[in-house]
């Protein structure tokens, strides 16, 4: 056993896992606050990456300004989707809302292809390019820096949930909508806030992901693995999303090297099946089951 190689693969897997965890948090945020299973999260991520591309390459803005614009754009998209599409469906059968989010995904892909065509693109590189060594183990700078950024963003959001008034309102709404209403919390505003924040996080994850592997209109497929992450972690658990993200990133990396790339997704979905069979509410989720 080559332990150095094993360690390198572990680091690489955790790097990918950081991005899964980040996107999963956007998913959990929406689910916790609004009980909507948003299957368009991958496409929201893709739109964020394209907004960055449009600002940085199309308008030739400096990368930091392009990132700010893309994050704001992602947030605005989340809020518009909530206000325009999701809120009118409040009280409808969850399966209807679920189906609407699938449709939303298609519409977002169509919009992106109309504006930017379906051609694959590369994002301008804004990460330092010097190789990173942890001991003797090599870590690609993009993977390292995107992991660092994802970790910082996740930490900031966790602090916001804990201490910020909006975050507290969000948690209150998530645990009991009726009680939150009666305490004077503006629940519709909390819904908007949840979708807006999720949009910002998704856009951020999209920029990170796009800067690693390039962007294309089908990069929303990433959302499929994120769905597995949140189901494994527990749909409404931020901690679950974090740990399951890292776990699945690591497992895919291991499977890819020791079994072959064709087994990466197989391993992920086997884990999904096992969790659904023995612990359908996920590793850390609330123990209630809603059948769709």
Partner 1 sequence: MLVSKLARQLMAPVAAIALALGGAFPTAWADNDEIVLGGSIPMTGPFAFAGLQFDRGLRDYVEWINRQGGIEGRTLRYVGEDTGYQQDQSVAVFRRITSRENVNFYFGDSTAFQQTINRELDRRDILMTGASFASELNDPERYPLQFLLGPDYSEQVGILLSYIAEESPGARVAFIHSDTEFGRDPIAPGRSKAEELGLTVAATIVTPPGAADISSAALELRRARPDYAIFHGYVLAPIPDFIQRARQMGMNTRFMGTYYTMDQGIINEMGEAADGFMGVMPYRYYYDETGPAPIMDAIRELHGDYQTTTYTQGWLTGVLITEIARETLRAGKPFTGSNLRETLDSLSDIDTGGIFGQPVNFRGNSIPLGRIYRADVSQGQMVPVSDWIELE
Residue from 14, 24, 291 nearest 153 by CA: 24
Beta carbon of residue 249, minimum distance to partner 1 (angstroms, whole number):
8
Name the segment binding partner 1 (CB under 8 A); options: 66-74, 99-107, 112-120, 183-191: 112-120
Token look-up 């890819």 returns 256
Name the segment binding partner 1 (CB under 8 A); options: 91-99, 186-194, 210-218, 272-280: 210-218
Q: Which of 69, 149, 197, 219 binds partner 1 (CB under 8 A)?
A: 219
Is residue 228 within the footprint of partner 1 (CB under 8 A)?
no
Write out the DSSP string of 205-230.
HHHHHHHHH-B-TTGGGHHHHHHHHH
Q: Which of 134, 213, 269, 286 binds partner 1 (CB under 8 A)?
A: 213
Residue from 55, 46, 200, 204 nearest 112 by CA: 46
Beta carbon of residue 185, minimum distance to partner 1 (angstroms, whole number):
37
Report the C-alpha gap between 248 and 253 in whole angstroms.
8
Binding residues for partner 1 restricted to 252-291, rule: CB under 8 A: 252-254, 256-257, 260-262, 264-265
Beta carbon of residue 136, minimum distance to partner 1 (angstroms, whole number):
12
Q: What is the dihedral of CA 73, 201, 23, 189, to 10 degrees?
A: -90
Q: What is the dihedral of CA 41, 25, 161, 95, to 10 degrees?
A: 50
How many C-beta neighbours within 10 Å does residue 47 have? 26
Which residues are at the interface with partner 1 (CB under 8 A)?
5, 8-9, 12-13, 15-16, 19, 113, 117-122, 129, 131, 138, 140-143, 209, 212-214, 216-219, 221-222, 252-254, 256-257, 260-262, 264-265
């Amino acid at each position: 056993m080559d332990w150095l190689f094993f360690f390198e693969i572990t680091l690489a897997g955790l790097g990918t896992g950081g991005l899964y965890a980040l996107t999963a948090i956007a998913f959990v945020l929406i689910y916790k606050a609004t009980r909507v299973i948003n299957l368009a999260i991958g496409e929201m991520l893709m739109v964020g990456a394209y907004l960055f591309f449009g600002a940085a390459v199309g308008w030739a803005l400096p990368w930091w300004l392009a990132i700010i614009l893309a994050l704001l754009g992602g947030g605005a998209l989340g809020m518009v989707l909530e206000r325009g599409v999701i809120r009118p469906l409040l009280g409808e059968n969850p399966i209807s809302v679920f189906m609407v989010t699938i449709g939303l995904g298609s519409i977002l892909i169509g919009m992106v292809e109309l504006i930017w065509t379906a051609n694959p693109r590369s994002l301008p590189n804004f990460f330092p390019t010097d190789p990173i060594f942890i001991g003797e183990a090599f870590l690609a700078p993009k993977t390292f820096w995107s992991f660092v950024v994802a970790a910082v963003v996740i930490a900031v959001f966790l602090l916001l949930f804990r201490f910020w008034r909006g975050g507290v309102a969000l948690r209150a709404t998530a645990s009991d909508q009726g009680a939150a209403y009666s305490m004077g919390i503006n629940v519709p505003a909390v819904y908007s806030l949840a979708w807006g924040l999720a949009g910002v996080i998704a856009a951020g994850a999209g920029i990170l992901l796009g800067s690693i592997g390039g962007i294309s209109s089908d990069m929303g497929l990433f959302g499929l693995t994120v769905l597995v992450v949140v189901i494994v972690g527990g749909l409404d658990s931020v901690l679950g999303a974090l740990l399951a993200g890292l776990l699945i990133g690591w497992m895919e990396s291991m499977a890819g090297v020791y079994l072959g790339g064709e087994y990466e997704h197989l391993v992920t979905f086997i884990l999904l099946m096992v969790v659904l069979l023995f612990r359908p509410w996920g590793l850390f989720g609330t123990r209630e089951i809603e059948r769709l």
